[in-house]
Amino acid sequence: MVKAAKDFDPRAFLAKVGAGKSISKVGKGRSVFVQGDAADAVFYIQEGKIKLTVVSDQGKEAVVGILEPGQFFGEGCLNGHPLRLATTTAMESCVITRISKTAMTTALEGKPKFSQLFMAYLLARNSRIEEDLIDQLFNSSEKRLARLLLLLANFGKEASSQPIGVNISQETLAEMIGTTRSRVSFFMNKFRKLGFISYNGKIEVHSSLLNAVLRDKPEIDRKN
């Protein structure tokens, strides 16, 4: 029994079909669930990227996040939310693990390594939400766009350039940073002229953009 517990691999657990667990492929543009659906399961991304959008009572839609492999979504059901608060759509072909609320609760209570993995995700997500809030409150739309591009590219300090692995429209970028598409277009052209990014089918982010953000260079105008 002790050996079995030590050998437990939470990622292997998520990659296998089992009691209360199923795995499915979701095609690009297809929804996993939509806002207002019954919340009865948690999902884990094995492959692909998922976009989260919400629609206000007035019909205004906003992109609130883009999720990648290794991340969970739909965990609000564990907190007593009876309905989905957002719509989740595949930005590319995805492989998704669905874990029923009951199976998720059982795994969290009985498998410490799985609980640690899930807790690490929650803490990282909470930190990201706090950073996004500070970003919205204190940074210009231009600097918010720069930070978003770096996040989407999973940029590391040692990389010289990094492509964004999924096609993302300027409308989506605008929704995510709370500005207009025309402003995003203006900033993207500016970043390209400054050598911060390049286009080659997909957006490629260069280390000069990271340096500009970290060092708060005047090229990134905080007054926009």
Parse the chain into domains and list their residue ranges: 2-126, 138-214
- pLDDT tens by residue, the chain, 224 residues: 444 456 789 999 999 999 999 999 999 999 999 999 999 999 999 999 999 999 988 888 888 899 999 999 999 999 989 999 999 999 999 999 999 999 999 999 999 999 999 999 999 999 988 888 888 877 899 999 999 999 888 876 556 778 888 888 999 999 999 899 999 999 999 999 999 999 877 899 998 888 887 766 556 654 44
- CATH number of 138-214, picked from 1.25.40.10, 3.90.226.10, 1.10.10.10, 1.20.59.10: 1.10.10.10
Other Cβ atoms closer than 10 A to 54: 15
Q: Count other Cβ atoms within 10 Å, centred on residue 107.
A: 23
What long-range pairs does 105-110 form, CB within 8 A, spacing at least 24? 105/78, 106/20, 107/13
Chain position carrying tokens 């990389």: 159
Whole-model pTM: value is 0.79
Q: What is the CATH number assigned to the segment(s) 2-126?
A: 2.60.120.10
pLDDT value at position 132?
Answer: 85
DSSP state of 18: B
DSSP state of 48: S
